[in-house]
Amino acid sequence: MSTAMMTMRRAAALGARHMLAASSSRVVPIRHMSADVGAAMEKIRAAGLLKTQGLIAGQWVDAYDGKTIEVENPATGEVLASVSCMGSRETSDAIASAHSTFYSWSKLTANERSKALRKWYDLIIAHKEELALLMTLEQGKPMKEALGEVNYGASFLEYFAEEAKRIYGDIIPPTLSDRRLLVLKQPVGVVGAITPWNFPLAMITRKVGPALACGCTVVVKPSEFTPLTALAAADLALQAGIPAGALNVVMGNAPEIGDALLQSTQVRKITFTGSTAVGKKLMAGSADTVKKVSLELGGNAPCIVFDDADIDVAVKGSLAAKFRNSGQTCVCANRILVQEGIYEKFASAFIKAVQSLQVGNGLEETTSQGPLINEAAVQKVEKFINDATSKGANVMVGGKRHSLGMTFYEPTVVGNVSNDMLLFREEVFGPVAPLIPFKTEEEAIHLANDTNAGLAAYIFTKSIPRSWRVSESLEYGLVGVNEGIISTEVAPFGGVKQSGLGREGSKYGVDEYLELKYICMGNMS
Ligand code: NAP
């Protein structure tokens, strides 16, 4: 009997009748909801993509103690579904299942793994409408952005399906004539992947795509706020022929799940996207079992607008960099540094653009700004604005909760922000654009680098030498020059300093899931 099966039996003996009863996927009732939300949920259910149980060893299972958590629509407060609230026991079984499947999945040819990943990509694209609806409902982002994320998320599967076939080793010229020296690249093993709510699909595929391509197996823990998109994507993975156990999903009690992943000697790698505070805990917790770790953590992106910038390009670029997902992305422009000569002109054009943003329910076509994820997020924004105004900053537009109520917040511009304010020092993670005046290029670089974060930075200038000079001086993993949206599956994404370790996407993305093995062959003459 496989280790996974033994562990599953143990779980059953411990009273996991929920798991057994649930193994034939249950029908999820549609709760009473407003007409548009109800219709959207019906469409998702009709496509078979409304999953509410965890996925362990290819089985949809309830939490062993039957506990559930409610997933809410941040735009309306309606409960969309109740999902299994899992903990350490379910995570241990998921790890055991991933561990036993590792031996078969990693032995497949790269071509076979590639085909399954490509099929998963095709199925996600075929169901892009339902996945985008789910994302808008549970996360709040406007449908257009949600559709963009489905394409972006799927692109990692397509890219790594191709990259699976290009994981080459090396042959090294030997130092002794009777030897042959080889380097093999082999999968790390079982991967624990912990992901945030702000990109419910793409943060998963950006990890699972390269992990599966390399031959690793995975236990994913999506955020409790956005598990539905993750579960729907996992169902499509099963349909695509990704074998039972290669991809497992558990959600619920985050510290318990995290600890189970950290303590297991079978989990050889932790990959995490989320806050810097949790990232540090996971890094420390990985030390005991010496796991490989990659971390995509918080940012504090500077967006530098120089006097010589094209004003239209600068306004369009900083608006996109700031207000995507209502300011809730790690690469959102967090500090807009504007040179004195262009400050007034930029501020008035930028404010005009901000006033044109439409706040509303993401299901409505005209909406460009959805709600914030929860009440705590709004309170954080309020705290940062109060701190700034008490220290001399002025609210130029917005600056309060939106009349729609719930967690909607007015797109906001705050002027004369300085480096002693929270808006400068920390990630606001909301629709607030702080403007910070500066005099010289040196001052801009100093201000931009005056933070422990180092993920994304943006500069707007027409000078080619300046764009090189400043890009090279910025202590950041990603730099956008005259462009506010820079993420793509073909380029390496990741931060320096306390924004993280490792890179995702691109040809470098597979390195995080591979070990090098050196083989020395003697007596070869
Ligand atoms: P978070 O609170 O750190 O949560 C991220 C994930 O970690 C969630 O799945 C969460 O679970 C889980 N988690 C929380 N405590 C844990 C623990 N003790 N052990 C194990 N897992 C734990 O971050 P968030 O608020 O969801 O996301 C926002 C942050 O992510 C921002 O700082 C943003 O900049 C960053 N981010 C970075 C990138 C990047 O690529 N660098 C991309 C997107 C977001 P629950 O949600 O279930 O509690």
Query: May I ask the CATH architecture of the domain 48-296?
Result: 3-Layer(aba) Sandwich (3.40)
The phi, psi pair for 377, rounded to 5°, reads -65, -40
**Alpha-carbon span 252 to 272, nearest angstrom:** 16
**Alpha-carbon span 424 to 405, nearest angstrom:** 27
Q: Which of 116, 115, 126 is nearest to 241 (CA)?
A: 116
The alpha carbon of 272 and the centre of ligand 1 are apart by a number of angstroms equal to: 8
Are 262 and 289 in contact by the 8 Å Cβ rule? The answer is yes
**Mean of the per-residue pLDDT values of the chain:** 94
Average pLDDT, stretch 451-470? 98
**Alpha-carbon span 417 to 438, nearest angstrom:** 11
CA distances from 345 to 68, 196, 339, 350, 475 (A): 53, 37, 11, 9, 28
Q: Which two tokens stand for residue 126?
A: 């075929």
Handedness of CA 153, 154, 159, 163 (dihedral sign): positive
- Indicate the top mutation candidate among 152, 156, 278 to test ligand 1's pocket, ranked by most ligand atoms within 8 A of CB: 278
Q: Does the active-site annotation cover 296?
A: yes
Residue pLDDT, tens place only, 122-140: 999 999 999 999 999 999 9
The pTM assigned to this predicted structure is 0.94
* Side-chain half-sphere CA neighbours of 524 within 13 A: 11
* Side-chain half-sphere CA neighbours of 229 within 13 A: 38
The alpha carbon of 299 and the centre of ligand 1 are apart by a number of angstroms equal to: 13
Residue pLDDT, tens place only, 142-179: 999 999 999 999 999 999 999 999 999 999 999 999 99
The alpha carbon of 143 and the centre of ligand 1 are apart by a number of angstroms equal to: 23
The alpha carbon of 409 and the centre of ligand 1 are apart by a number of angstroms equal to: 22
Q: Which of 485, 483, 466 is nearest to 308 (CA)?
A: 466
CA 514, distance to chain mean position in Å, is 21
**Alpha-carbon span 231 to 249, nearest angstrom:** 7
Residue 120: what pLDDT?
Answer: 98
Are 201 and 501 in contact by the 8 Å Cβ rule? The answer is no
Q: Which of 389, 152, 407, 373 is nearest to 274 (CA)?
A: 373
The phi, psi pair for 248, rounded to 5°, reads -120, 150
Q: Is 504 in the pocket of ligand 1 (CB under 6 A)?
A: no
**Alpha-carbon span 475 to 380, nearest angstrom:** 26
Are 229 and 196 in contact by the 8 Å Cβ rule? The answer is no
* pLDDT above 70 for 4: no
Domain positions in the chain are: 48-296, 301-486
3 state DSSP class of 273: strand
Residue 1: what pLDDT?
Answer: 35
Q: Is 197 in the pocket of ligand 1 (CB under 6 A)?
A: yes
Residue pLDDT, tens place only, 41-56: 999 999 999 999 999 9
377: burial class by Cβ within 10 Å (0-12, 13-18, 19+)?
A: buried
Of all protein residues, the one whose alpha carbon is nearest to atom 12 of ligand 1 is 254
Band of residue 34 on the pLDDT scale cut at 50, 70, 90? confident
* Alpha-helical segments (H) within 140-251: 143-163, 202-214, 227-239
The CATH code of the domain at 301-486 is 3.40.309.10
Q: Does the active-site annotation cover 489?
A: no
The phi, psi pair for 33, rounded to 5°, reads -140, 165
Average pLDDT, stretch 387-412? 98
Ligand 1 atom closest to residue 330's alpha carbon, by position in its atom list: 34
**Residues present in the chain in total:** 525
Band of residue 20 on the pLDDT scale cut at 50, 70, 90? very low
Catalytic residue among 214, 216, 303, 330: 330
Are 293 and 512 in contact by the 8 Å Cβ rule? The answer is no
3 state DSSP class of 483: coil
* pLDDT above 80 for 21: no
